[in-house]
Structure 1
């Protein structure tokens, strides 16, 4: 097996584990089941990850990197320029294509399991993303894009509560709205969310709004 094939197998195993963990919960999934669905031998799973705990760590880091990447891209200069011009749709364009991908669609469902179970890993992820979000809010405030308020940490927490609430209530909103807010309905959901945030965050308390 070539090194390229080996790396592809590792990613396939990780993604399969993510999907099975999201669907059934980590405690209900065996290494053998993951190997069978990924089309590899159990020995190869052990070779790449050592144990189920090692595989779980890889899944968690994959999820962490997914949202880290979205946060990184949302703070790019060209996006900040768009936001300063009132084009909040640029953020929606960053988010929408990601969650429409087949493999990535399992990430919100996996996060929902972590958050609802009270798993410390879920709290750690929220803490990390909250720190990053506060940094972005402060940068946007300095650029005159938003008013981060007197307490950016709480303001960021409020926004994250709304965003992650979608993961927790996705099934209910799918029934109520008749469209999947984490699937085909995501582009419209993201656009409307950013329009609401844009209206809330550009208040008269920001220095640039008082000039």
Structure 2
């Protein structure tokens, strides 16, 4: 049986790893650095996670668990207090995702695929329940939705400059740009279908060539 102190140490190591991997990148962070920040020995890090790769995999699983949500304690749509708490908790996660996708590793590709699959199921559930519009290509919708959400992470430096914020990953900044994103997704940008009709016409023209 593991002692509570061991479980606490494991959680502390995971938290530190998530923060350091997000701020510096997995390749630039050593087990020794993680151990020093967590206040434990490098041997204890290896004891709990096996290796740095095992620690990175644990961070990936934690991120995925946040994406999937807790089925026993879901964040209800429209629950401002629950949403705010999730955003506060996810600040290190946003940094971790930004670094992972910019590094472009096979692990990051697998993480992206998992996020897309989870999001596709969530959107399909929303379509069934009536709060998501149906679509003819559910997989493309999920992939583009995830890409939309992750774009601020990849363009963080430029968005920070344009929006006039020091750190795009801070919760206040995230609430600012994500509110605008949700407004665009909920109400749309265009007031008529002229661009959609133009796209359909161009596609039809190519099919007749």
Alpha carbons of 1:51 and 1:66: their partners in 2 closer, same or farther (altered >3 Å)?
A: same
2:109 aligned counterpart, secondary structure: helix
Q: Which runs of 5+ in 1 are unaligned?
A: 80-89, 204-211
Aligned to 1:65: 65
Aligned to 2:120: 134
> What TM-score do the two structures reach when normalised by structure 1?
0.77
105, 111, 131: which one aligns with 2:91 = 105
1-structure distance, mates of 2:169, 2:25: 19
Say if 1:137 and 1:148, in contact at 8 Å, map to a contact too: no
1:40 aligned counterpart, secondary structure: coil
Say if 2:124 and 2:138, in contact at 8 Å, map to a contact too: yes
Higher Rg of the two aligned structures = 2
1:35 deviates by: 0.8
1:33 deviates by: 1.1
Say if 2:23 and 2:99, in contact at 8 Å, map to a contact too: no
Find out whether 1:188 has 2:176 as its counterpart: yes
Alpha carbons of 1:143 and 1:66: their partners in 2 closer, same or farther (altered >3 Å)?
A: closer
> What TM-score do the two structures reach when normalised by structure 2?
0.77
1:45 aligned counterpart, secondary structure: helix
Aligned to 1:171: 157
If asked which structure has higher relative contact order (CA below 8 Å, sep 6+), I would say 1
Alpha carbons of 1:192 and 1:138: their partners in 2 closer, same or farther (altered >3 Å)?
A: same
Aligned to 1:85: none
Aligned to 1:199: 187
1-structure distance, mates of 2:160, 2:150: 15
Alpha carbons of 1:91 and 1:150: their partners in 2 closer, same or farther (altered >3 Å)?
A: farther
1-structure distance, mates of 2:74, 2:23: 32
2-structure distance, mates of 1:74, 1:130: 22
1:165 deviates by: 0.4
2-structure distance, mates of 1:188, 1:93: 16
Greater mean deviation of Cα atoms: 141-150 or 156-165: 141-150
Aligned residue-pair number: 187
* Two-structure CA RMSD over aligned residues (Å): 2.7
Q: 1:22-51: per-residue Cα shift (whole Å, max 9, x none)?
A: 222222211111111111112211221122
2-structure distance, mates of 1:164, 1:197: 15
Aligned to 1:145: 131
